[in-house]
Structures are given as C-alpha cells and as structure tokens.
C-alpha cells in the first residue's frame, strides 16, 4: 500500500515538473488592417462621397486580399485584426464629411481592438479631401495617436502616390507598385504584408521597441514631355530606363545592404 502511494506521489511530481518546465506557448503577433484609397482629380467638378469607397468591415476585409484567404499560409502566421478598408474608383475630391466619417470609423475600430504589434496600412496615396492637405498623412497621424508609436506600420501604395514627410515619419515600411499599368498591385500588397511579418517574426520589433527602418531620399529625374509616345512616358515609366534599372538592382543589392524593399514614387 505504501509503495502504491509512493508511486502515485512520484507520478504527480513528474507531471508537475513537466508542466513547470514546459515553456509557455508564444502568442502570435497581432496585425491590424486599415486604409482608404482613391486617386483624386482636383480638376473634376464632381465630389466623392462615402458610399463610393464600398468600405469593408471586420472579417469581410479578407475577401479583398487573395493572399489572406482562409487556406493561405499568411492567414495563419499572425493574429489578424481587420478594421476598415475602403477603396473608390478614381474621381473628384472626397467630401470632408465622407473622409471624417470613414476616418472616425477606422479610429473607433482600432481603439476597440488594440493593442497591436503591426498595422497593414493599405492606401492609394493620391487622395484629395476638400479643405484638407495631405489626407493620407493626416489619417496615419490620427491612427498613430490610437495605436502608439511602437506599433510597426507597413504602408502599401501606388507609385503615383504622395509620400509626404508626415506619411514617411509615421510609416516604418513603405511598399509601392513597380509596374504601370499596375499589374503588380496585389503582389505589392502581399509584399508589404510579408515584409511586416518578417520584421515582427525576426524579433527586431515589438510594441516595446521600434527601430528605424525607412530611409527617404530624392532622385533628380526629368521625363521628356515631347518626342515620345505619351503612353510610354506617362503609363510605363518603370518599364523603361533609368527607373527599371534601379528596380532591377534587386534582390542581391538589397541583401548585401540588409534592405528588404526599394520603391520609387513619382
């Protein structure tokens, strides 16, 4: 009988020791998704209202990104917290009321579901809002006031977008289309997400530390206004020299310098 109780006690000690020695499971990084995108024309007399953005909320946002389908590897690498994403066809300036409404909904959703390790900020970059300069810069600045300065922000945008100082200062990673026409639009968004996950998974960033990742520089360039087919000049610049040569310096040049991405905006 005594031996029986000793065996039970020994078994309990072994189980208890194993439970103590077991390392706690690591939680997945939490990444929010948010953004507004439109290519605005200030010459258009028409104004763009909120309905034109066809905003997606919560889990319905996943349908906008094939690489985040339920059976995709990226879907399961992190804990996704989709907020609001709105995309409009090109049009006139966005009304201030529409912008404030959508921005407010994004901020409310982010406040409700934080904190976050990262944010996938999906924009176009050429939005114009009535009475507001630099809407994308304004939006990311407001978002920063909610998610804090430690959250890593990966911005995906059109190469025709405007990278203002405010947008650059509040983004850790910026990934732009490399082709015009934009056949690589979805591939660019996926690259922005993969870069963000790579940074977080490598342990180089968390809510407790935010190293600098983004370097912004100006490249003097002049595109000819005459003597070339306008389609070649204005819609295919990254397929021609010298821009295509700069992009083709990847990937070996990037690896040697420890860079993960290079983008050109106009």
For every one of its 266 residues, what pLDDT tens digit does the chain have, with 9 covering 90 and above? Answer: 444 444 433 344 333 334 434 444 568 999 999 999 999 998 999 999 999 999 999 999 999 999 999 999 999 999 999 999 999 999 999 999 999 999 999 999 999 999 999 999 999 999 999 999 999 999 999 999 999 999 999 999 998 888 999 999 999 999 988 877 788 899 999 999 999 999 998 875 444 444 455 666 666 655 544 444 444 444 455 556 666 666 555 544 454 455 666 666 66
Alpha carbon distance 129, 101 (integer Å):
12
**193 CB-near residues (< 8 Å, 6+ apart):** 31, 65, 67, 68, 74, 120, 154, 156
Alpha carbon distance 174, 266 (integer Å):
14
Q: What is the model's pTM?
A: 0.78
**76 CB-near residues (< 8 Å, 6+ apart):** none
What domains does the chain contain, in order, with CATH numbers? 30-215 (3.40.50)
Which DSSP category does 209 fall into?
B
Q: Residue 47, Cβ neighbours under 10 Å: how many?
A: 16
Alpha carbon distance 196, 212 (integer Å):
13
**255 CB-near residues (< 8 Å, 6+ apart):** none
Of the candidates 114, 116, 158, 112, the residue with the CA atom closest to the CA atom of residue 136: 158
Q: Across the strands, what pairs with 197?
A: none
């Amino acid at each position: 009988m005594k031996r029986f109780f000793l065996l039970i006690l020994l078994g309990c000690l072994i189980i208890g020791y194993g439970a103590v020695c077991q390392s706690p499971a690591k939680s997945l990084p939490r990444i929010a998704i948010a953004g507004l995108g439109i290519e605005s024309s200030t010459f258009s007399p028409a104004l763009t209202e909120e309905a034109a953005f066809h905003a997606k909320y919560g889990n319905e946002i996943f349908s906008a990104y094939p690489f985040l389908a339920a059976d995709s590897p990226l879907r399961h690498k992190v804990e996704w917290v989709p907020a609001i994403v709105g995309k409009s066809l090109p049009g006139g300036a966005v009304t201030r009321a529409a912008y404030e409404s959508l921005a407010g909904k994004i901020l409310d959703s982010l406040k409700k579901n934080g904190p976050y390790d990262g944010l996938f900020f999906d924009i176009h970059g050429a939005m114009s809002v009535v009475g507001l300069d630099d809407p994308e810069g304004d939006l990311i600045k407001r978002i920063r006031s909610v998610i804090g300065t430690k959250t890593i922000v990966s911005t995906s945008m059109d190469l025709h977008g405007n990278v203002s100082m405010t947008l650059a200062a509040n983004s850790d990673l910026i990934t732009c289309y490399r082709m015009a026409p934009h056949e690589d639009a979805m591939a660019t968004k996926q690259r922005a997400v993969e870069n963000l996950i790579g940074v977080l998974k490598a342990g180089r960033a968390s809510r407790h530390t935010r190293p600098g990742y983004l370097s912004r520089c100006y490249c003097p360039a002049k595109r000819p206004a005459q003597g070339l087919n306008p389609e070649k000049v204005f819609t295919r610049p990254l397929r021609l020299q010298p821009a295509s040569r700069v992009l083709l310096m990847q990937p070996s040049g990037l690896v040697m310098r420890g860079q993960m991405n290079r983008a050109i905006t106009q």
